[in-house]
Amino acid sequence: MSNDSVLRIDNVTMQFGGVIAVDNVTIDVNKGEIVSLIGPNGAGKTTAFNVITGVYAPTNGAVYFNDEKIIENYPQGKMRTMYKGENQGKYRQVLSPTPDRITKLGIARTFQNIRLFKSQTVFENVLIAQHLRRTSNLLSATLHLNGKEEAQMRKDARDLLHILELDDVADEMATSLPYGKQRRVEIARAMATKPSLLLLDEPAAGMNPQETDELTAFIGRIRDEFGLTIFMIEHHMDLVMEISDRIYVLDFGKMIASGLPEEIQSNRRVIEAYLGGAVDE
Amino acid sequence: MKKKELIPGLILIAALLVLLRYLELHISPQSQWAMLLTVLKKGSIYALVAVSMNLLNGFTGLFSLGQAGFMMIGAYTYAVLTIPAEQREMVYMYYEGGIIRFALPSIVGIILAGVVAAVFAFLIGLPVLRLKSDYLAIATLGFAEIMRALFQWDTLGPLTNGSNMLRSYPTFKTILYPFIVSGVCIALIVMLINSTYGRAFKAIRDDEIAAEAMGINLAHHKRIAFTVSSFFAGISGALLAMFQTNVQAKSFNSAMTYEILLIVVIGGIGSVTGSVISSFLFIACSEWLLRFLDETHVIGDVTLPLMRSGFRKVVFSLIIMVIVLFFRQGIMGNREFSFTRLFSGRSKKSKGGKADE
Amino acid sequence: MDWFSRNLPYFLAGISVGGQYALIAIGYTMVYGILRLINFAHGDIFMVAGLLMVYLSASLPVFLAIPLVIILTVLIGFTVERVAYKPLRQAPRMSVMISAIGVSYLLQNLALYITGGLAQQYPAIPWVSDQITVFGASTKRVTVITPFLTIILVILLVILIKKTKIGMAMRAASKDFETSQLMGIRINSVISTTFIIGSFLAAIGSLLFFSNYTGVTPTIGTMPGLKAFVAAVFGGIGSIPGAVIGAFIIGICENMIMMLNQYVRFDISNFKDAFAFLLLIIILLFKPTGLFGEKQTDKV
């Protein structure tokens, strides 16, 4: 492992019943990189994201963050059914942080189908992320004895919206915005958790070419300004080829190629996977 | 409440208390207005439990139906701990005066009523808060029923007086008492909702998965909301015990929880002021305003049809059905009542999105 | 033999009550399967069926009163759905549930108004209500009939759902409401049918139940209703065999408590009702969707 490894997915397999959604996949993301994960629909890309963010516990393999092991397999490969806690206690020695703990470690994500808090404004959406850095407890927060912290939370949220050029819509209801704007708000909300690694799940889905161009610039900018590392799933090849440092390709859960954008572009297996042709080897 | 609303707010509260005291001193128990005082007292108590239920169902999105159970725990805690020692022999006549021989001051009893309800909620919450939506609803409803059976259990009689009535404990002397206690509690709930914790609750309500991705520990925050809500339900239970001057477990049944839920819905899920307004309206309609429907009226030679005992409740349930079917947002929707808005006539940008999904 | 004849009535009562709960539980589970609605008014439909029998049998011979009770109950169930639930088809689920609570409140208050709050004596149905002796234990004939009648009705229902066109539509609607609509299934008639079947079975259940417990009060539907719902959740909501098995388990268990009560030092009879809930909570913690429920996972 190199010194500047931020994320390493190490031989991860994710199996649901008889379906192997992710099959023995290894991915490395280094500091400051923008790495893309591409592949046809149903290739297991989002499942890989869900493993990294602790939504599913992998059947096999481990995930490292800043060279520290944060997730390890369950012995029998059970899916963690959310919040029903059926695996609690059974696998005590196994690392399986919940999504909130992953976020606290510094990994933030967006969702394929935008999941903004629908009854709240853009500002409130971003403000919620400040909650994880609170130092006040229930009592002091209720009695509003944490005025200083509260003011700081609001200031941080305002500042972030300003940097990301969203302050003009700060008091709009988040879900009343046009689609492209909602995507940006979701990225802003993820940024508000102050991550060092940002996971973007199809950030350009449903965008027109102009919005996609704006998004490309936006992603590049936040990487540079915040010193972030970005790992994203995307279908828009223009976007992927333009900003990715490296690309991984999944097909039917298997890693079929990885490398620089120009290598991927000319890779025969990748082209066949996308065009649906048979692989003759 | 915004900063600039604080001063007029405080003045209004003071004026309200003075008015209440005035009414209390000048309405004789025999006059037809005496019912108004009863409605105000009971309404203020229901306002607290409705707001506490709204904190769960409206603000955190946890569909819980255990509110009457936690009220019962509060009511019993208060009654059991505050009955004067010399009265116990009489109250616990079937259990040789019971096992508790001391009596705590009333205000300590009220606080402990909340604390005991909260402790129960915490313990119950550990397993059941993992359940979702309807499953949570039926499990909390079930727990309330189990508690009710437990409190009526003969073997616990020396503590709870079994299925017999608890009475002779201190009650309030003035209408100001329930208003002040409820008012302070509701203010605390509002402050909680407006704090960073309240924002986390609303995030969980809107989208659990996204909330978790924002670093919010779901289990922890759900437990907080459940425990705090039950704390205040317990306090309102203690107030209800004082209001009724006697307590019996069998009255805290599922129908009572449904009633509170209806109050919350009529007021608007996700609106504290809505719950408060709706509590007073609900109690006034069910106990007072529609009372004429229960009496036989004769105009000239014609006896008005249908009007006899019980008709009031039928009309009342029809009104509720009309509200539920045609005014789904309730009185306030998910907005809050605000003076600035009322006086300046400038309406705040209406909030889209529904809280009650 | 002495032990046997002393405790047999509890077993018989358990199976019989279980069958009655099962008939109510099917209404809950079918409605939940399609609408994802806890129909809180279902227990009150059961109560209304009881009251109808009381009033109709006062002026009509029993053989006329019974079919009329069933028809009227079905009509009420159908009307409740059309008036109180159908307008809320697009509304959030919570609104529909509140509407159900509202209907329950209305039916109870109507019953209170009509009866004046007094318990109404349920008429004895000839043959069904007769006393008989089973293995030395004296009981009403209804106790013995109930489990058989329940099982016959359940088998007929399962055949209806498996073999007929409307049954197929029901299964489709409970699998995927939206898609089945797009596939040209007339969802409103499917839902109406569901309520008609549910109310029909509740009416039968009510005839059997009140032949044993003869006082009909406005709130009497609440407890059997809740327990039947618990049975439906216990068995895995949406599953008809699950609801039936759950109902029998709950009916038998609560009578076992009464049986045990003879032997233990403390009086535990008032946990009879609470026990169903305890059982429910325990099962939910280990199998969050009930005994035969399908496992659900969240899509992220």
**Cα nearest neighbour of A201 on chain C:** C300
Instruction: Determine what percent of chain C is predicted with pLDDT higher than 90.
Output: 56
Whether residue A86 lies within 8 A of chain C, CB to CB, comes out as yes
Q: Is the pLDDT of residue A74 over 60?
A: no
Q: Is the pLDDT of residue A86 over 50?
A: no
Mean pLDDT of C71-82: 97
Residues of C in contact with B126 (CB under 8 A): none
**CA A22 to CA A36: how far, in whole Å?**
16
Q: Is the pLDDT of residue A83 over 80?
A: no
At A237, is the pLDDT very low, low, confident or very high (cuts 50, 70, 90)? confident
Report chain A's terminal Cα–Cα distance, integer Å.
Answer: 31
User: Within a 10 A sphere around the Cβ of B332, how many other Cβ atoms?
Assistant: 21
Distance from CA of A98 to the nearest CA of C (A): 14
**CA C234 to CA C249: how far, in whole Å?**
9
Domain boundaries, chain B: 35-351
Q: Which of C102, C237, C284 sits opposite B321 (nearest CB)?
A: C102
Between A87 and A104, the higher pLDDT residue: A104
- What pLDDT is stored for residue B49 in this prediction? 97
Contact C288 A81 (CB under 8 A): yes
Domain B35-351 falls under CATH 1.10.3470: yes
Contact C288 A86 (CB under 8 A): yes
**CA B356 to CA B57: how far, in whole Å?**
8
C145: Cα separation from own chain's centroid: 17
- What pLDDT is stored for residue B132 in this prediction? 81
Q: Where does residue A154 rank: exposed (0-12), middle (13-18), buried (19+ CB within 10 A)?
A: middle
A231 beta partners: A35, A199
What's the complex ipTM?
Answer: 0.88
Q: Where does residue B120 rank: exposed (0-12), middle (13-18), buried (19+ CB within 10 A)?
A: buried
Q: Which of A83, A134, A190 sits opposite B218 (nearest CB)?
A: A83
Whether residue A226 lies within 8 A of chain C, CB to CB, comes out as no
Residues of A in contact with C300 (CB under 8 A): 46, 50, 55, 111
**CA C69 to CA C202: how far, in whole Å?**
11
Q: pLDDT by residue (tens digit) across A145-170?
A: 888 999 999 999 999 999 998 989 99
Q: Name, in order, each residue with C-beta under 8 angstroms of C92's C-beta and a sequence gap of 6 or more.
A: B354, B356, B357
- What pLDDT is stored for residue C6 in this prediction? 79
- pLDDT, averaged across chain A: 85
Which is the CATH superfamily of the domain at A1-105+245-281?
Answer: P-loop containing nucleotide triphosphate hydrolases (3.40.50.300)
Q: Mutating which of A81, A87, A118, A201 best tests the C interface, going by the most C Cβ atoms within 10 A?
A: A81
Q: pLDDT by residue (tens digit) across B193-244?
A: 999 999 999 999 999 999 999 999 999 999 999 999 999 999 999 999 999 9
- What pLDDT is stored for residue A110 in this prediction? 95
Instruction: Determine what percent of chain B is predicted with pLDDT higher than 90.
Output: 62
Q: Is the pLDDT of residue B348 over 50?
A: no
| Residue A155 and residue A167 in contact, taking contact as beta carbons nearer than 8 Å | no
Q: Is the pLDDT of residue A1 over 70?
A: no
Between B87 and B347, the higher pLDDT residue: B87
* Sole residue written with tokens 């199809």: A202
- What pLDDT is stored for residue A205 in this prediction? 86
Catalogue the E-assigned strands of C10-144.
Answer: 120-121, 131-134, 137-140
Instruction: Determine what percent of chain A is predicted with pLDDT higher than 70.
Output: 88
- What pLDDT is stored for residue B72 in this prediction? 97
Contact C274 B146 (CB under 8 A): yes
Interface size, chain A vs chain C, as Cβ–Cβ contacts under 8 Å: 12
Edge-first strand order for the sheet with A246-251 is A107-109, A197-201, A229-233, A34-38, A246-251, A254-259
Strand A68-72 versus strand A5-16 pairing type: unpaired
At B303, is the pLDDT very low, low, confident or very high (cuts 50, 70, 90)? confident
Q: Is the pLDDT of residue B248 over 60?
A: yes
B65: Cα separation from own chain's centroid: 12
Q: pLDDT by residue (tens digit) across C175-188?
A: 888 888 888 888 99
**Cα nearest neighbour of B353 on chain A:** A119
Between A48 and A16, the higher pLDDT residue: A48
Q: Name, in order, each residue with C-beta under 8 angstroms of A101's C-beta and a sequence gap of 6 or more.
A: A54, B217
Most trustworthy range by pLDDT among A52-61, B179-188, B322-331:
B179-188
- What pLDDT is stored for residue B229 in this prediction? 98
Residues of C in contact with B313 (CB under 8 A): 109, 112-113
- What pLDDT is stored for residue B339 in this prediction? 62
**Cα nearest neighbour of B189 on chain A:** A142
Q: Is the pLDDT of residue C269 over 90?
A: no
Q: Is the pLDDT of residue A95 over 50?
A: yes
Q: pLDDT by residue (tens digit) across B26-65?
A: 888 888 788 899 999 999 999 999 999 999 999 999 999 9
- What pLDDT is stored for residue C295 in this prediction? 62
Mean pLDDT of A30-35: 93
Most trustworthy range by pLDDT among B131-135, C74-78, C260-264:
C74-78
Mean pLDDT of A190-197: 94
Between A76 and C211, the higher pLDDT residue: C211
Q: pLDDT by residue (tens digit) across B258-277?
A: 999 999 999 998 899 999 99
Q: Where are the alpha helices (DSSP H) in chain B?
A: 3-26, 34-54, 67-82, 85-91, 106-128, 133-151, 157-160, 176-193, 196-206, 208-213, 218-244, 254-267, 272-284, 311-326, 339-344
For chain A, the chains sharing at least 3 beta-carbon pairs closer than 8 angstroms are B, C
DSSP 3-state assignment of A16? strand
Contact C288 A46 (CB under 8 A): no
Q: Is the pLDDT of residue B337 over 70?
A: yes
Distance from CA of B193 to the nearest CA of A (A): 8
DSSP 3-state assignment of A107? strand
User: Within a 10 A sphere around the Cβ of A35, how many other Cβ atoms?
Assistant: 20
* Structure token pair of residue B145: 């029923």
At C299, is the pLDDT very low, low, confident or very high (cuts 50, 70, 90)? low
At A18, is the pLDDT very low, low, confident or very high (cuts 50, 70, 90)? confident
Q: Is the pLDDT of residue B113 over 70?
A: yes
For chain C, the chains sharing at least 3 beta-carbon pairs closer than 8 angstroms are A, B
- What pLDDT is stored for residue C91 in this prediction? 85
Q: Is the pLDDT of residue A77 over 50?
A: no
- What pLDDT is stored for residue A265 in this prediction? 87
Mean pLDDT of C149-159: 94
Contact B216 A132 (CB under 8 A): yes
- What pLDDT is stored for residue C118 in this prediction? 87
At C231, is the pLDDT very low, low, confident or very high (cuts 50, 70, 90)? very high
Between B286 and C42, the higher pLDDT residue: C42
